[in-house]
């Protein structure tokens, strides 16, 4: 079954895909989410970008084998010059320094649309291995999806909705 957010996500030119774990299973949700936002704020500060201008999609998930909580995310709004492995390594290192666990962050594979990153598509493999496996679980019932407000604005979703609403009210 398709989730409505897929239409919005497919309108964004995502630049990074990542998986973030935590050192402790006992961290409260507010702390886990706070770590993610701290990562984005540090990233913006280091590379001269404002946090509100970043586009992000965050999914929380319970691990399949041991039930450990972890995140998967999409990120955009970054200067093209930063789309390289060095920036990915910087993000992974920063996550660990902030107190997170392991991080795997990659430049977004443009062979996939964002829908492929959030829809469960059994058997989907286009030669991109682990990222496809992890991203295929985005629509599972055990996950929680959060989007930056700016994602909706950049995708033009709200403006189209508001235009349609105004047309109906006339």
pLDDT digits (tens, 9 = 90+) for 68-96: 889 999 999 999 999 999 999 999 999 99
Q: Does residue 98 surpass a pLDDT of 50?
A: yes
What confidence score (pLDDT) does residue 10 get? 80
DSSP line for 124-161: --SS-THHHHHHTTTT-TTEEEEE-HHHHHHTTHHHHH
Model-level pTM greater than 0.85?
A: no
Q: pLDDT tens, 22-43?
A: 998 889 999 999 999 999 999 9
Q: pLDDT tens, 100-138?
A: 999 999 999 877 766 555 443 333 344 444 555 454 554
Query: Model confidence at 140, in pLDDT bands (50, 70, 90)?
Result: very low
The domain segmentation of the chain, as residue ranges, is: 5-169
Give the domain 5-169 fold.
Replication Protein E1; Chain: A, (3.40.1310)
**Average pLDDT score over residue span 60-73:** 79
Under 8 Å between Cβ of 118 and 145: yes
Query: Model confidence at 65, in pLDDT bands (50, 70, 90)?
Result: low
């Amino acid at each position: 079954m398709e989730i409505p957010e897929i239409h919005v996500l497919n309108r964004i030119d995502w630049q990074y895909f990542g998986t973030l774990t935590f050192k402790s299973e006992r961290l409260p949700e507010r702390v886990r989410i706070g770590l993610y936002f701290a990562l984005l704020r540090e990233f913006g500060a280091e590379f001269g970008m404002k946090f509100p201008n970043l586009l992000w999609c965050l999914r929380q998930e319970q691990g399949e084998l041991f039930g450990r909580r972890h995140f998967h995310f999409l990120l955009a709004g970054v200067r093209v010059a930063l789309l390289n492995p060095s920036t990915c390594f910087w993000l992974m290192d920063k996550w660990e320094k902030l107190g997170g666990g392991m991080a795997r962050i990659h430049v977004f594979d443009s062979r996939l649309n964002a829908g492929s990153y959030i829809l469960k598509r059994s058997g989907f493999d286009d030669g991109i291995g682990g990222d496809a496996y992890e991203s295929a679980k985005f629509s599972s019932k055990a996950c929680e999806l959060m989007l930056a407000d700016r994602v909706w604005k950049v995708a033009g979703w709200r403006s189209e909705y508001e235009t349609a609403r105004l047309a109906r009210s006339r």
